[in-house]
């Protein structure tokens, strides 16, 4: 059963899917970490692949930029393709002084300036969070790898270029980093009764000067990719 955004048929996609924003990063993961790889989607250039990692079937697919884009792709994976677990592997801008470029962040929860949650008709403000079981496994793997990591809340913003930048306000409230997708992923997972985790590599810092190039973002996030894959095969 294909959709307007995904040409896969049922059975083409594994129960656990890694999702980077950039489809070329999905291609990089498939080519460098998976075996027996098959491409299941090329619609709109949003590449998707299924293969095996250490003998277990895993899929990887791009989700594009922004909350609306990841909202579409993750909704379809959860509700049309019987996917149980989605692990976003993305980049983020650091906010806290103890967060450095190339550090890994596990997003425990997601603040947002988006109205994405309005569609659910909930009174008050819904607090979307990661699935603890997946978070716990991923953190344990990061400890084993001895890589610098942080666990906490992130800000998922609707806008990259902002006229009124609230980053310092969220920094003062403890947000570790800012990115653009996690809130939709976590809300879609909650509504579908499925599982989700966002793992981020800090690619730049809003209060420091260091940053990674576009090419470095695509290919140098190997610690994050390996943590996500080793977590995936435990699910």
Distance CA 82, CA 186 (A): 16
Question: Is residue 204 annotated as a catalytic residue, yes or no?
Answer: yes
Distance CA 229, CA 11 (A): 20
Q: Which of 22, 36, 204, 223 is catalytic?
A: 204
Q: Are 83 and 16 in contact (CB under 8 A)?
A: yes
Q: Is 92 left (phi over 0), alpha (psi -120 to 50) or beta?
A: beta
Q: Of all helices (H) and strands (E), which one includes residue 226?
A: helix 222-232
Hey, what are 219's tokens?
Answer: 């290919």
Nearest alpha-carbon partner for 126 in 114, 138, 135, 137 = 114
Q: Are 184 and 76 in contact (CB under 8 A)?
A: no
> If you ran DSSP here, which 8-state letter would residue 98 be given?
T
What is the chain's length? 235
Hey, what are 233's tokens?
Answer: 């095969």
Question: Measured in Å, how far apart are the chain's first and last C-alpha atoms?
Answer: 25
Q: Which residues are catalytic?
A: 204
């Amino acid at each position: 059963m294909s959709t307007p955004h995904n040409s896969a048929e049922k059975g083409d996609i594994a129960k656990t899917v890694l999702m980077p924003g950039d489809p070329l990063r999905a291609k990089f993961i498939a080519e460098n970490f998976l075996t027996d790889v098959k491409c299941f989607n090329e619609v709109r250039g949003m590449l998707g692949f299924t293969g095996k990692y250490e003998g277990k079937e895993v899929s990887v697919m791009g989700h594009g930029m922004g909350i609306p884009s990841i909202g579409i792709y993750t909704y379809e994976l959860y509700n049309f393709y019987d996917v149980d677990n989605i692990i976003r592997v993305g980049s983020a801008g650091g906010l806290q002084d103890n967060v450095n470029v190339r550090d890994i962040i596990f997003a425990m929860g997601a603040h947002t300036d988006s109205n994405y949650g309005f569609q659910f008709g909930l009174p008050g403000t819904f607090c979307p969070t990661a699935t603890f079981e997946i978070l716990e496994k991923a953190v344990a793997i990061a400890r084993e790898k001895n890589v610098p990591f942080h666990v906490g809340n992130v800000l998922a913003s609707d806008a990259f270029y902002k006229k009124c930048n609230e980053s310092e306000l969220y920094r003062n409230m403890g947000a570790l980093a800012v990115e653009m997708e996690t809130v939709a992923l976590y809300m879609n997972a909650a509504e579908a009764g499925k599982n989700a985790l966002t793992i981020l590599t800090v690619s730049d810092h809003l209060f420091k000067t260091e940053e990674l190039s576009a090419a470095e973002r695509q290919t140098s996030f190997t610690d994050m990719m390996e943590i996500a894959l080793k977590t995936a095969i435990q699910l």
